[in-house]
Amino acid sequence: MNKKSAFAAAAAMSFLATNVAYADPQAEVLHWWTSGGEARSVAVLQEEFASRGGTWTDMPVAGGGGDAAMTALRARVLSGNAPTAVQLKGPAIQEWYEEGVLADISSVAEAQGWADVLPASIANHMMCEGTWCAAPVNVHRIDWIWANAGILSANGIEMPTTWAEFNAAAEQLQAAGITPLAHGGQAWQDATVFEAVALGIGGPEFFQKAFVELDEEALTSDTMVAIFDQMRIMRGFVDENFSGRDWNLATAMVMNGEAAFQIMGDWAKGEFLAAGLVPGEDFLCMSTPGEGFLYNVDSFAMFDVDGQDNIDGQTLLAELIVGENFQHTFNLNKGSIPARTDIALDDFDSCAHTSAADMAASTESGSLLPSYAHGMALRGAQSGAITDVVTAHFNSDMSSADAVSQLVAAVANSQ
Amino acid sequence: MSEWLERHIPKIVMAPSFVAIMIFVYGFIGWTAWVSLTRSRLLPKYEVEGFFQYGRLFAAPRWDTAMNNLFIFGTLFILISMVLGLLIAILLDQKIRTEGVLRTVYLYPMALSMIVTGTAWKWILNPGLGIESVVQGWGFENFEFDWLVNPDYAIYTVVIAGVWQASGFVMALFLAGLRSVDQEIIKAAQVDGIPTRRIYSAIIIPSMAPIFLSAFIVLSHLAIKSFDLVIALTGGGPGYATDLPATYMYAMAFSRGDIGQAASSAMIMMLVVFTIVVPYLYSELRAKND
């Protein structure tokens, strides 16, 4: 009898517990925003979630640029216990969808009218076979060129608008004893410069064909050879000590006047601003020579969860992520621009204004393109194969023709 | 009951670890072999497709580089560590006064993790911070030592750091071996007027053959599984010039979501280990049975 009553009590308790939980949206969020500014940005979301009555279970997994978090996610999904929301981006969202583990959040997306406020090509990344399965957080622009304003004016150089101008300016600076290009020799940084060059020389249409559709004709074209030629020229503009340097140290070289330019996404702006420098006065920001806009959109993919409390949590989370308040505060902290196009940018700096204006313009002209180097255009195996060739070419004396033939082979081998 | 227990207790005590090893070592080797035959990408899939992952692997120039690097690094690392270790051991064996202190000095690098070794050597070998800039600062303007950032030589910097770390340990092994040689034989040889050099080359070193074998086995598995040293020292760069099979596997499995490819590279790594370890085990087992 005793046992029985204990069992009954336990059952009642658990019933109570679920009852309480029903009233309370739950969300477990897996992300790797653990560094200072990023952690502050996530805390904004966390507070907002709590103020709407939700219980947020934080699951930050630092390390390896998300590799560690992806390993944790794999383990969770395989054990049938996926988190509510996971920081994922680009084609990785569709890759997880194909594993059959993503949820459909179309109801909240339609209720909030996401389709009207997000640029179409960015909205596409958030859709899995016609249903919404992820919520975008921000837009980082990749094809930025940053410059030390003092060095440029002292040498009478304007911001370059073509790659020929860039080369001429770099040679002039080199003659004056200044490192023209601050760069860190890590594979992803090589790839970042490469895609900026590819977009500039090939143009948006070529970029779309080569790095989104992996069209063999584009990959083997003379344009691709010309792009590798320009990379070889760029190799001459970095200092001899660049191997393995972290990107923020390269940014510091521009700040300290050791180098003139850096080609890097707009997270570099955070470094300049943290050092108390003013855009337009101490440092300059401009899109890299050529037309187009390469974006890197962080987003949260929503995983299939059980229980009404978890589904409520997921819905609330999705609503808040795309909500105006979070989009504004988060991006102000992180240096990116909101994915929503209807946010007032009065508090943002001039580089963010340029970025937002260019995003609107390139949406119109169809040149708003996903970054291949940051995993927005291709799946991991394919973009990795291209990066292998790019970094091998940049760090050796491989000829451009060899690089192109290796590129084609690597892409074919990665399918 | 107690007699039964007495007879079976060793088996009972060993059983859990036996089961654990069967599952977590051999079970997972089998699992990896299976996955290496599938098209697994993000998550493991279990439909066997044949050996096409191995075809992809051998077609990848990066894997070629990784295997070449393993060969260069493994050979030089094992050879130099053994020669240097033996040399230091012989010098320390000359009944010198501060042997205890010197032995500790040479052994201490082994106490550091590979990450620390790699980071320290990264700074020492960095042309802008380390040896090159110091020597140039002394006035030798033409001195160049940029191996770390030169894709053709970067793998040799990994050898330098690895040898620095491991040769003290090899020295300790050899020193113990030198001490275990029967002193009577050495005295007899000295009485016969045989020069010290000959005593070492004809008597002491040949009698240490088992130590050479152990040192070789320890060093070769260190070389094959070497991962943290490369990550800390060069990060696999410049480009992927210092990639090793272990870093290749990591990149495929954890950065690129290409589990099938990673599994096939892991299987090849295991085969390399087997080609070294199996002859060793075979000779060991046969010696015991004799």
Cβ neighbours of A68 in B, within 8 Å = 254
Nearest residue in chain A measured CA to CA from B241: A392
Nearest residue in chain B measured CA to CA from A392: B239
Interchain CB distance below 8 Å, A241 and B127: yes
Cβ neighbours of B136 in A, within 8 Å = none
pLDDT average, residue stretch A80-95:
91
At CB < 8 Å, which residues of chain B contact A? 41-44, 56, 59-62, 122, 126-128, 146, 148-149, 151, 154, 234-241, 251, 254-258, 261
Assess contact for A332 and A324: CB atoms under 8 A. no
Cβ neighbours of A396 in B, within 8 Å = 151, 238-239, 241
At CB < 8 Å, which residues of chain A contact B? 64-65, 67-68, 70-71, 74, 77-78, 92, 95-96, 99, 185-187, 190, 239-244, 379-381, 384, 388, 391-396, 406, 409-410, 413-414
Please say whether the dihedral angle defined by the alpha carbons of residues A196, A198, A203 and A206, taken in this order, is positive or negative: negative
Interchain CB distance below 8 Å, B146 and A240: yes
- Give the closest of A68, A78, A391 to B239, CB-based: A391
pLDDT average, residue stretch A214-224:
94
- Give the closest of B44, B149, B239 to A392, CB-based: B239
Cβ neighbours of A410 in B, within 8 Å = 60-61
Paired residues of B62 in beta bridges: none
- Give the closest of B56, B59, B257 to A380, CB-based: B257
Interchain CB distance below 8 Å, B149 and A185: yes
Residue B71 CB partners (closer than 8 Å, separation 6+)? none
- Give the closest of A77, A186, A413 to B237, CB-based: A186
Judge whether residue A20 has pLDDT over 80. no
CA–CA min distance B77, chain A (Å): 23
- Tens-place pLDDT, residues B192-217: 888 888 888 888 888 888 888 889 88
pLDDT average, residue stretch A188-195:
94
pLDDT average, residue stretch A74-78:
89
Q: CA B250, CA A110: separation in Å to the nearest integer?
A: 40
- Tens-place pLDDT, residues B216-263: 888 988 888 788 999 899 888 788 899 999 999 998 988 888 899 999
Query: What is the structure's pLDDT at A246?
Result: 87
CA–CA min distance B142, chain A (Å): 15
Interchain CB distance below 8 Å, A95 and B148: no
Nearest residue in chain A measured CA to CA from B233: A244
Q: Which two tokens stand for residue B242?
A: 């210092």
pLDDT average, residue stretch A167-190:
93
Query: What is the structure's pLDDT at B288?
Result: 63
Assess contact for A328 and A318: CB atoms under 8 A. no
Query: What is the structure's pLDDT at B289?
Result: 61
Interchain CB distance below 8 Å, B237 and A67: no
Give the number of A-B residue pairs with CB atoms closer than 8 Å: 101
Assess contact for B243 and B252: CB atoms under 8 A. no
Q: Which of A343, A394, A338 is nearest to B239 (CA)?
A: A394
Quote the pTM value: 0.85
Burial of A185 (0-12, 13-18, 19+ CB in 10 A): buried
Q: Return the residue matching tokens 């653990």.
A: A34
Can you tell me the ipTM of this complex? 0.80
Cβ neighbours of B151 in A, within 8 Å = 395-396
CA–CA min distance A266, chain B (Å): 23
H helices of chain B, in order, are 2-21, 28-35, 52-59, 61-92, 99-107, 114-125, 131-137, 154-180, 183-191, 196-198, 209-224, 228-233, 245-250, 259-289
Tell me the CA distances in angstroms from A410 to A155, B40, B252, one per residue in order: 42, 18, 14
- Give the closest of A68, A71, A413 to B60, CB-based: A413
Interchain CB distance below 8 Å, A187 and B43: no
Interchain CB distance below 8 Å, A185 and B238: yes
Interchain CB distance below 8 Å, A242 and B149: yes
Task: Find the distance separating the first CA and the last CA of chain A, reported in whole Å.
Answer: 64
Q: CA A109, CA A104: separation in Å to the nearest integer?
A: 10
Interchain CB distance below 8 Å, A185 and B43: no
CA–CA min distance A127, chain B (Å): 19
Taking each helix axis from N to C end, the angle separating A380-394 and A222-235, rounded to the nearest 10 degrees, works out to: 50
- Give the closest of B44, B149, B256 to A241, CB-based: B149
- Give the closest of B56, B237, B258 to A243, CB-based: B237
- Tens-place pLDDT, residues A138-168: 999 999 999 999 999 999 999 999 999 999 9
- Give the closest of A380, A409, A410 to B258, CB-based: A380
Q: Which of B97, B279, B83, B110 is nearest to B174 (CA)?
A: B83
Q: Which two tokens stand for residue A130?
A: 């016609």
Give the pLDDT band (50/70/90) at residue A64.
low
CA–CA min distance B57, chain A (Å): 9
Q: For chain A, what is the radius of gyration of the CA atoms?
A: 23
Q: Which among A38-52, A58-72, A348-362 has the top mean pLDDT?
A: A348-362
- Tens-place pLDDT, residues A298-336: 999 999 998 899 999 999 999 999 999 899 988 888 888
Out of A45-59, A253-267, B201-215, which region has the weakest mean confidence (pLDDT)? Answer: B201-215
Paired residues of A411 in beta bridges: none
Q: CA A15, CA A251: separation in Å to the nearest integer?
A: 56
Give the pLDDT band (50/70/90) at residue A234.
very high
Paired residues of B74 in beta bridges: none
Give the pLDDT band (50/70/90) at residue A21.
very low
Q: CA B248, CA A62: separation in Å to the nearest integer?
A: 21
Cβ neighbours of A393 in B, within 8 Å = 239
Low pLDDT (below 50) residues in chain B: none
CA–CA min distance A1, chain B (Å): 39
CA–CA min distance A263, chain B (Å): 18
- Domain B56-289 belongs to what architecture? Orthogonal Bundle (1.10)
Q: Using DSSP, state whether A370 is helix, strand or coil.
A: strand
Give the side-chain half-sphere CA count within 13 A for B240. 27
**A395, A404, A415, best to mutate vs chain B, most B CBs in 10 Å:** A395
* Segments making up each domain of chain B, as ranges: 56-289
Query: What is the structure's pLDDT at B82?
Result: 94
CB atoms < 10 A from the CB of B15, how many?
A: 11
CB atoms < 10 A from the CB of B241, how many?
A: 22
Q: Which two tokens stand for residue A142?
A: 């990749």
Domains of chain A: 24-140+296-349 (3.40.190.10), 141-295+352-414 (3.40.190.10)
